[in-house]
């Protein structure tokens, strides 16, 4: 077997990223990408360039890479309600030129969203070239979101955190109750947070894989423990990745770099190498 130097590997990854077509994100049959929140310290253009450098061809686009930062709530509302669809089409074109497919738009619907903001979230998503939304939404807003999702025929995957709260997604029951509100409500399972809340990500994935539209890959300790580098926590990352591979499930699997590390690009690259090794095993 030929052994590549680090320089040769990086150059090969960069060359491949530039030439990527959407299906190039498949690794061992798994759609392996990243949540662009992983590059939250970078501008949108810099984040896209970083994805190319790492060798990623699929991403879940975080709203923070598009929305204005540190503005009053009413100004944010106006931005969401009035920004032309062409803005989002132009963003899609940037990703297309970079060879990176947007698998989902991550816009987190909250209780204070107006009906127009909710509707516009779906319009933004379609303009970005996808029919999947992921959302760290409040539980109480789901009924309104479900009605909009049915109108727009766009699926919304609810994202979980580890804090148990009546208005936050954290438990399996939270997900099951939300999915019962309509066929366009699904799950964006963050296996790190799920583990930190002391739930079984493998068992949930086996039972509900047909309603899971995206997985977030991170590592955390149980009992609401900290984010840690992949392989250093309690999250069953290897088992989850291999289950997706072996069952030939098609949901995107997205690295979400959230632990305290060094250079963002190097840390995401480290995460990607870990995931690829798990899929190679």
Domains of the chain: 31-280 (3.20.20.150)
Specify the DSSP class assigned to residue 229: -
Phi/psi at 253 (5° precision)? -115, 110
Q: pLDDT tens for residues 192-247?
A: 999 999 999 999 999 999 999 999 999 999 999 999 999 999 999 999 999 999 99
Give the residue among 221, 242, 224, 216 at the shortest CA–CA distance from 232: 221
Range 14-32 average pLDDT: 63
Range 7-23 average pLDDT: 38
Residues with Cβ within 8 Å of residue 226, at least 6 apart in sequence: 220, 259
- pLDDT-derived band at 24, boundaries 50, 70, 90: low
- Residue 17 in this model has a pLDDT that exceeds 90: no
Which three-class secondary structure string do you get for 144-208?
Answer: HHHHHHHHHCCEEEEECCCCCCCCCCCCHHHHHHHHCCCCCEEEEEEHHHHHHCCCCHHHHHHHH
The reported pLDDT for the residue numbered 25 is 87
- Residue 18 in this model has a pLDDT that exceeds 60: no
The reported pLDDT for the residue numbered 240 is 98
- Our separate counts of H helices and E strands in the chain read 11, 11
Residues with Cβ within 8 Å of residue 187, at least 6 apart in sequence: 157, 158, 175, 179, 208, 211, 212, 213
| Percent of residues, the chain, with pLDDT higher than 90 | 91
Range 134-139 average pLDDT: 98
Q: pLDDT tens for residues 138-180?
A: 999 999 999 999 999 999 999 999 999 999 999 999 999 999 9
Range 248-257 average pLDDT: 98
Place of tokens 């030439």: 19
Contact present, 98 and 59 (Cβ < 8 Å): no
pLDDT higher for 6 or 212? 212
């Amino acid at each position: 077997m030929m052994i590549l130097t680090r320089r040769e590997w990086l150059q090969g990854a960069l060359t491949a990223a530039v030439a990527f077509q959407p299906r190039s994100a498949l690794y061992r049959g798994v759609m392996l990408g990243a949540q662009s929140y992983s590059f939250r310290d970078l501008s949108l253009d810099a984040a896209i360039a970083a994805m190319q450098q790492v060798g990623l061809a699929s991403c879940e686009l975080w709203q923070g890479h598009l929305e204005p930062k540190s503005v009053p709530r009413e100004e944010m509302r106006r931005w969401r309600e009035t920004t032309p669809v062409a803005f989002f089409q132009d963003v899609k074109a940037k990703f297309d030129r970079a060879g990176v497919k947007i698998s989902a738009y991550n816009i987190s619907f909250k209780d204070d969203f107006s009906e127009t903001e909710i509707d516009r979230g779906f319009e933004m998503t379609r303009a970005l070239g996808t029919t999947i939304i992921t959302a760290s939404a409040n539980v109480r807003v789901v009924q309104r979101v479900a009605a909009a999702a049915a109108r727009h025929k766009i699926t919304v995957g609810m994202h979980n955190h580890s804090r148990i709260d009546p208005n936050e997604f954290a438990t399996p029951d939270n997900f099951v109750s939300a999915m019962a509100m309509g066929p366009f409500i699904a799950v964006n399972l963050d296996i790190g947070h799920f583990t930190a809340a002391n739930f079984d990500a493998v068992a949930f994935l086996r039972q509900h894989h047909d309603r899971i539209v995206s997985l977030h890959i991170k590592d955390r300790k149980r009992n609401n423990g900290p984010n840690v580098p992949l392989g250093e926590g309690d999250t069953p990352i290897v088992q989850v990745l291999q289950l997706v591979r072996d069952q030939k499930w098609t949901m995107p699997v997205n690295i979400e770099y959230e632990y305290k590390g060094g250079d963002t690009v190097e840390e995401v690259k480290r995460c990607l190498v870990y995931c690829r090794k798990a899929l190679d095993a």
